[in-house]
Amino acid sequence: MVRGLIALAAGLSLAAPLGAAPLVVRVVDPAGKPVRDAVVTLYPASGARAPRSGGRFVVAQKNLQFQPFLTIVPVGADVSFPNLDPTKHHVYSFSPAKRFELKLFAKDQSRTVHFDKAGVVALGCNIHDQMSAFVVVSDSAWTARTNGQGFASFGDAPNAAERVVVWHPYLRTPSGTMQQALGPAQRTATFVVRLRAPPPTMAMDY
Amino acid sequence: MPAFRSLSARLTAQFALLFAAAMLVVSAALSTLISGSAAQQVESQLQSSGAVYDRLWQQRSRELQNAAQLLARDFGFRAAVATGDTATVQSALGNAAARLRVRTAFIVGADGQVWGIDSAVPAPQAASLWTSLDEGRLTGVSVISGRPRQLVAAPIMAPTLIGWVLFASDLDSKEMRGLESLSAIPLQAAVIVDDHDGWAEASGSLSALDQRDVPVIESHVAQAAAFEMNVRGQRAIALAKPLPTFSSGDKAMLLLAYPKAEAMADERKLQWALALLTLLGLSLVALATWRAAGRITQPLARLDDAAGRLASGEPVQVQVRGTDELARLASSFNDMVGRIAEREQRITQLAFNDVLTELPNRTMFQQQLDHLFRAFEGGGGIFALHCLDLDQFKVINDTLGHPAGDTLLIEASRRVRQAAGGHFVARLGGDEFIVLQSVGDDRQAIDRLAREILDTVSQPLTIDGNELVPSTSIGIAIAPQDGSDGEALLRSADLALYRAKEAGRGTFAFFEESLNERAQERRQLETDLRLAIERGEFELHYQPLFDLEQNCICSFEALIRWNHPTRGMIQPGEFVPVAEDTGLIVPIGAWAVREACARAASWPQNIRVAVNVSAVQFHRGALHETILAALAASRLEPSRLEVEITESVFLEGGETTLKLLHSLRSLGVRVALDDFGTGYSSLSYLQSFPFDKLKIDRSFIQNLLTRDGATAIVHAITELANALGIETTAEGVEETAQLEELRAHGCSSVQGYLFAEPMTAGDVDQLFKDGAATVQNVA
C-alpha cells in the first residue's frame, strides 16, 4: 500500500510546475479504513496563497437534507440555499465564521449568504434536526477533500515546510481539527483520526 | 450396648434411640431448610430492594435526561451556548435545576470548557468528564467536590456538537434515607465509591466502612449475591449493586445492608419452635416406647415372676390374655406347671408308696417309725410293731406264677389294711408287711389286733380258679421296751416273726429277750463257720450202705462234722441251715465233694461214695465244675460218686436244675433223691428225671412196724421204684424186723445203726483192712 502511494506520488510529480511538487495526504481511522469528506488544508511556511475569490455555490435543501453535505468555498464566496422541498426550512448557523438564520422559507425560495471569514460553518435546520451540512470557508488555495479512498492530493503543493490541517465534521478533538508539520521533502502525510458517530437520523414523522 | 437388667429397659432404649435418631435427622433437615429458606428470603428481600433502587435510579436518570435533552434542543438555549451568552445560559440552567430539584447544572463545551451553576469542577476532573462525554457516556455516578452525584448529560447540537448540558443529582444521606424508607425491610443503604484512593463510603448510614470487608464486597459485586459484613459493629447481610460511573476510572456501588439480628429474627423464632417441638417429640417418643415396651414385656415379666415362684416350689398359674405367641407361651407354662405338679405327686408316690399294693413303702415306714419314736419319747406310752410275713408265699408264687402271687399280695394288703383299722400299714417288700399300732395301757389290744389280722388274712380266696387259704405269721415288738430306735425295734420284730414261723405258721409271737440271745448265738456261729473253713475244722464221717441183694457194703454216705474248738463236735442240723443262709455252704460243700472223692479213690473199686448237695449249691455254686474238678483231682471213677439231693432243689429254677442234673449224669455221676416221701414233692419229679436211687425217709422206716400206713407207703415206694428201675435205700434202719420187712418189700439197700454208725475215714480204712467189707453177720 505504502509502496503504491509512493509510486502514485512519483507519477504526480512529473506534471508538477517548478517550485512545487505533488503532495498526497491520506486520512484513515484507527482501524485503517479510509475516511472521506475530510478537508485537508495546506499552509505553506511562506504564507498562504489565497484562493480565487468569488464564485457561486449552492447548498440545496432537498428531501429534508442539505445537498451537498460538504462544500468548500473560498473566503468571500456567496452560497445560495434553494429550498426544493415542499416543506419550509429554517436554516441557521451559530458558527463563528458565519452566523446567520434563514427563517422559514418555503419551496423554490432561495436565499444567498455571503461568507466573508475563513472557518467552518455548520449548517442546521431548526425544524429538521437531522439536517446537517458544512461549508468550509477556506483562506488557502490548497484545500482539498479526501475521496472515497481517503486521499487528498495536491498537484502543486508548495515545496516548502508547511502545516497540514485536517478537519472533519465528526472529528473527536476539542478543536475539531488535527494538524501536522511537514518536513521540507515530505510529500506524503497520513492522519489517523477518531470520529464520532454521525448524529442519528430522525424518523420522518410527517 | 450396656447390659440391661430388664427386657423392657432394653426395648425402650433401643427404640427410643432409633426414633430419636430419626427425629433428630428430620429436625436437622428442617432446621437446615429453615436456615436456608430464611437466608434465601433475606436475600430475595435484599434483591427486591436492590431492584427497587434500580428502578428509582433509572426513573431519576430518565427524568434528568429528558430534562437535559429538552434543554439541549431548545433553539434559544443552543444559540445562547453557541454564542457564549453566559447570562442567558445561567438563567436557563438555573430554571431547569430548580424544576428538577438539583443543585448542580453545567455545560461542558466541546472544547473542554466547563461552565454553569455550582460548577466548581477542577480541571483534571473536567478533562475526564469531557473524555467520558466524548465517548458517549451520558449517565453515571461521579464524585464532584467530594460528593457523589448522579450525573446526566445531553449533547448540545448547534447543529454540530458544541457541548453537553449536565445535571448532577446529589446521592447524599437524605437520598439514602429516602431509599431506605421505600424498602419493605429495615434496610441500611449507602453508596461507596472508589475514586482511585480505595473504597470509601460516600454517603449513607453505614458510617465507617470496614476495610476488611472490602474484598468480600468486591467479590460479591459481580455475582449479585448476598454476603455478610460488619455494619456498625454488627453482622449484617448485604447486597452490593454496581452503579455506572461517569468516569471510566471510578467505581461505585450501592450497598444495601440488613442487620442479621433483624433479618434472622423470624428464623430464630422458627428454630426455637423447632427445637422445642423436637424436645417435646423426643420426650413423647421416650414415653411412648417405654409404655409400649412395658406392654410387650409385661406378660414376659409375669412369666418370669411365675417361673421364679415355681422354682421356689409355689404352685402358680399365669393369666392368659389374647392369642399371640406370649399367650401361647403362658398357656404352655400353665400346662407345664400342672404336669410338674402331677409328676411331683407321682414321684412322691413312687418314693413313699409301693407300686403294686399302693401301701406306704419302707422309706415311708421308716419316717413313720421315727416320727412315732419322737412322739412317744418320754411320754410313757407304748406302740407295737407287727411284722407280717405271708406263709408259703414262695410256693404259691412258684406254682401259680408271679401274676397270681401279685394278686395274693394285693388282696393280702387290702385285708391287712382292713384289719388294721386305721393303724399305719406298710409293705416292706416281698411278702413282708408292717402294722404300727399305737397302744394306750391296754396291752391286750396288741393281741386282739394280731388275731384280727390273722383271721382276716386267712379267709379263703380263689386265684385263677385255684382256691387258696392264705395265712401269715406275725412277729410283734413293743416300743420302747423291745427297741430304743426304729432299727432295733424292727430287728426284734423280725426275731419274733422268726419264732412265729418256727412255731408252725399262721400264728403270732412276741419278742422275748431269749430270741435276741439265739440270734446272737447264730451270729457267733456264722463267724465261727467262716473261720472253720480256713482252719480245716470240718471232717467227713462215712456211714456204710448195705446192699441187700449182694449182702455187702456197696457204698458210704459222706456226712459232714464240725469239730468246733470250744464246743466240740457240732451236728450238721445245727450249722448247715446257717451255712445255707449265709452261702457258706458253697465252699463247705465243695470241700466235702473233694474230700469224699479223694477218700473214695483209695477204697476198693466196687465201693461208691455218696455226697449230700444243698439246694443252695445247686443254684449258687458252680456245682458242675466243682464235681468235675474233684473227680479229676482224685481220679475217682465218676460212677462211684453219688450226689444226694432233696426235693427242695426243684423248688427254685426247675429247668436249670434239670439241665444241671443231666449234665452230672452225662459225666457218669449217679443222682439220688434224698428224704423221699416228705416235703411237698410230687411224683412228677420221678417222671422228669431218671434218678438212680430213691432214699426213703427215716420217718417211714421208724413207723414201719407200728403203723399200717407207713408200711403201705414204703411198699408203694419200692414198688414204684422197682417199676421205674430205680434203686431204693431205706434210711434209719435200727431193728432187724425193719430189715426183714424191707427185704420183703424188695428194697435195694439199707442204712442205719443196725449196721453201722457213721465212722471216721480211718475206721473205714480199717474196715477194709479187716476184710469185713462184707458184713455177713447182720444179714
- Nearest residue in chain B measured CA to CA from A129: B159
**Given CB atoms, is A48 within the 8 Å cutoff of chain B?**
no
Residue B300 lies in a domain: no
pLDDT at A2: 38
**Contact status, residue B193 vs residue B113, Cβ threshold 8 Å:** no
Q: What is the mean pLDDT of residues B677-706?
A: 81
Q: B134–A123: do the CB atoms touch at under 8 Å?
A: no
Checking if the pLDDT of A9 tops 50, the result is no
Residue B681 has a pLDDT of 55
pLDDT at A10: 39
Q: Which chain A residue's Cα is nearest to B83?
A: A94
In a 10 Å sphere around its CB, with 0-12 CB exposed, 13-18 middle and 19+ buried, how is residue B50 labelled?
A: buried
Which of B483, B367, B480, B460 has the alpha carbon at shortest distance from B412? B460
Give the closest residue to A38 by CA, choosing from A48, A46, A29: A29
CATH number, domain of B656, equals: 3.20.20.450
**Model pLDDT, residue B679:** 67
Contacts of B130 in chain A (CB under 8 A): 174
Is the Cβ pair B158, A175 closer than 8 Å? no
Instruction: Please give the residue of chain A at the shortest CA–CA distance from B82.
Output: A94
> How is residue A206 annotated by DSSP?
-
> For the ranges A112-116, B105-109, B131-135, which has the lowest average pLDDT?
B131-135
Question: CA-nearest residue of chain A to B160?
Answer: A122
Q: CB-based contact (8 Å) between A64 and chain B? A: no
Residue B405, Cβ neighbours under 10 Å: how many?
21
Q: What's the pLDDT score for residue B591? A: 93
Q: Does A110 touch chain B (CB under 8 A)?
A: no
Same domain, B114 and B51: yes
- Residue A191's H or E segment, with its range, is strand A188-192
Are B344 and B369 found together in one domain? no
**How far, in Å, CA of B591 to CA of B354, rounded?**
43
Q: Which grid cell is B606?
A: 466196687
**Strands of the sheet with A151-158, listed across from one edge:** A151-158, A20-28, A188-192
Interchain CB distance below 8 Å, A129 and B159: yes
Q: Is B136 in Cβ contact with A94 (below 8 Å)?
A: no
The mean pLDDT of B566-593, rounded to a whole number, is 89
Is the residue at B221 inside a domain?
yes
Q: At what angle do helices B75-83 and B7-73 cross, to 10 degrees?
A: 70
Residues of B in contact with A122 (CB under 8 A): 158-160
Q: Output the pLDDT for position A18.
A: 45
Q: Which backbone phi and psi does B191 adopt, to 5 degrees?
A: -105, 130
Residue predicted with more confidence, A113 or B502:
A113
B323, B720, B742, B743, B768 from B746: Cα distances, Å: 95, 11, 6, 5, 27
Examine the pLDDT at B410 and tell me if it is beyond 80. Answer: yes
Option in A131, A172, A174 nearest B112 (CB)? A174
- In this prediction, residues B224-228 reach a mean pLDDT of 80
Tell me how far apart the alpha carbons of residues B590 and B601 are, in angstroms, rounded to a whole number: 17
CB contact under 8 A, A197 and B73: no
Question: What is the pairing mode between strands B147-157 and B161-170?
Answer: antiparallel
Closest by CA to A164, choosing from A151, A175, A177, A149, is A177
Same domain flag for B345 and B441: no
Contact B161 A196 (CB under 8 A): yes
Q: How confident is the model at residue B264 (pLDDT cuts 50, 70, 90)?
A: confident
Average the pLDDT over A66-86 and give the result.
90
Pair (B384, B482) in one structural domain: yes
Q: What percent of chain B has pLDDT over 90?
A: 19
CA atoms within 13 A on the CB side of B733: 28
Number of compact structural domains in chain B: 4
Instruction: Examine residue B106 and state whether it is found in any structural domain, yes or no.
Output: yes
Give the pLDDT band of residue B777 (cuts 50, 70, 90).
very low
Q: How many CA atoms lie within 13 A of B89 on its CB side?
A: 24
Find how far residue B366's CA is from the centre of its chain. Answer: 34
Q: What is the pLDDT of residue B670?
A: 94
Q: Are residues B38 and B114 in the same domain?
A: yes
Cell (9 digits) for B105? 447544572
- Residue B487 CA to residue B369 CA, distance in Å, equals 9
Measured between alpha carbons, how far is B397 from A119 in angstroms, rounded to an integer? Answer: 172
Indicate yes or no: pTM above 0.90: no
Cell numbers placing A147: 475521496
Name the residue among B295, B185, B277 with its Cα closest to residue B239. B185
Could you give the angle at the alpha carbon of A98 between the alpha carbons of A93 and A100, nearest 5°? 45
Of B511, B538, B560, the position where a domain reaches its end is B511
pLDDT of residue B651: 73
User: Domain for residue B698, yes or no?
Assistant: yes
| Exposed/middle/buried for residue A41 (C-beta within 10 Å: 0-12, 13-18, 19+) | buried
Q: How confident is the model at residue B590 (pLDDT cuts 50, 70, 90)?
A: very high
CA distance B133 to B127: 10
Q: Which of A92, A94, A130, A195 should be substituted to probe chain B, the one whose Cβ sees the most B Cβ atoms within 10 Å?
A: A94
Is B559 in contact with B758 (CB distance < 8 Å)?
yes
Q: Closest to A94 (Cβ–Cβ): which among B79, B111, B130?
A: B79
Please indicate if any CB of chain B lies within 8 Å of the CB of A135: no
Q: Do B111 and A175 touch (CB under 8 A)?
A: yes
Is the ipTM value over 0.90, yes or no?
Answer: no
Concatenate the DSSP letters of all residues of B439-496 into one string. E-S-THHHHHHHHHHHHHHTS-EEETTEEE---EEEEEEEETTT-SSHHHHHHHHHHH
**B459 shares its domain with B360:** yes
Q: Is residue B683 part of a domain?
A: yes
The answer to whether residue B279 scores a pLDDT higher than 50 is yes
Q: Is B296 a member of any domain?
A: no
Helix (H, G, I), strand (E, B) or coil at B254: strand
Q: Which of B488-492, B511-515, B542-546, B717-721 has the lowest mean pLDDT?
A: B511-515
Spell out which residues of chain A touch residue B75, defining contact as CB-CB under 8 Å: 126
Q: If you average pLDDT over every residue of chain A, what do you get?
A: 80
Give tens-digit pLDDT for B353-390: 888 888 898 888 988 888 888 887 777 778 899 999 99
B71–chain A nearest CA distance, Å: 14
Evaluate whether residue B302 is within a structural domain: no
Domain that holds residue B71: 17-263
Question: Which of B511, B545, B570 is at the close of a domain?
Answer: B511
User: Dmax over Cα atoms in chain A, in whole Å?
Assistant: 58
Asked if the C-beta of A194 comes within 8 angstroms of chain B's C-beta atoms, the answer is no
**Domains in chain A, please, with CATH?**
20-49+141-192 (2.60.40.10), 56-138 (2.60.40.420)
- Judgement on whether residues B94 and B157 belong to the same structural domain of the protein: yes
Calculate mean pLDDT across residues B128-137. Answer: 83
CATH of the domain at B453: 3.30.70.270
Interface contact flag, B157 A124, Cβ < 8 Å = yes
Same domain for B545 and B691, yes or no, is yes
Return d(Cα A120, Cα A133) in angstroms, integer: 10
What pLDDT, on the 0 to 100 scale, is given for residue B593? Answer: 94
pLDDT at A48 over 60: yes
Number of H helices, E strands in chain B: 25, 26
Q: pLDDT-derived band of residue A142, with 50, 70 and 90 as boundaries? A: confident
Interface test with A, best of B160, B161, B162 (most A CBs within 10 A): B160
A124 vs B: CB within 8 A: yes
**Residue A7's pLDDT band (cuts 50, 70, 90):** very low
Q: What is the full DSSP assignment across B263-318?
A: HTHHHHHHHHHHHHHHHHHHHHHHHHHHHHHHHHHHHHHHHHHHHHHHHTT----P
**Partners of B466 in beta bridges:** B463
Which residues of A are less than 8 Å from B73 in CB distance? 129
Query: Is residue A15 pLDDT above 50, yes or no?
Result: no
Residue of A nearest to B110 (CA): A174
CB atoms < 10 A from the CB of B155, how many?
A: 22
Regarding whether B397 and B335 lie in a shared domain, the answer is: no
Q: Cα-atom radius of gyration of chain B, to the nearest Å? A: 70
Residue that finishes a domain, picked among B263, B283, B301: B263
- Average pLDDT over all residues of chain B: 85
Detail the DSSP E strand segments found in B118-250.
Answer: 139-144, 147-157, 161-170, 188-194, 199-204, 227-231, 234-243
HEC readout, B725-772: CCEEEECCCCCHHHHHHHHHHCCCEECCCCCCCCECHHHHHHHHHHCC
Q: Are residues B103 and B125 in the same domain?
A: yes
In a domain, B297, yes or no: no
Candidate from B110, B160, B162 with C-beta closest to A169: B160
Residues B365 and B346 placed together within one structural domain of the fold:
no
The residue that leads in pLDDT, B749 or B214, is B749
A198 touches B at CB < 8 Å: no
Please say whether the beta carbons of B476 and B387 come within 8 A.
yes
Record: contact A197-B136, CB cut-off 8 A = yes
Sheet holding A70-74, edge to edge: A70-74, A132-138, A119-125, A89-93, A100-105
Q: What is the secondary structure of B33-89 as a DSSP string?
A: HHHHHHHHHHHHHHHHHHHHHHHHHHHHHHHHHHHHHHHHH-HHHHHHHHHT-HHHH
Greater pLDDT, A60 or B116: A60
Task: Find the range with the poorest average confidence among A27-31, B74-78, B204-208.
Answer: B204-208
Q: Contact, B386 vs B365, CB < 8 A?
A: no
Q: To the nearest whole angstrom, how far is the Cα of B77 from the nearest Cα of chain A?
A: 12
- Inform me whether the pLDDT recorded for A4 exceeds 50: no
- List phi, psi (to 5°) of B674: -85, 160
- Residue A12's pLDDT is 41
Same domain, B707 and B605: yes
What is the C-alpha to C-alpha distance for residues B549 and A42, in angstroms, rounded to an integer?
206
Which amino acid is located at B519 in the chain? Answer: A
CATH number at residue B90: 3.30.450.20
Give, as one character, the DSSP assignment of residue A169. T
Amino acid symbol at B540: L
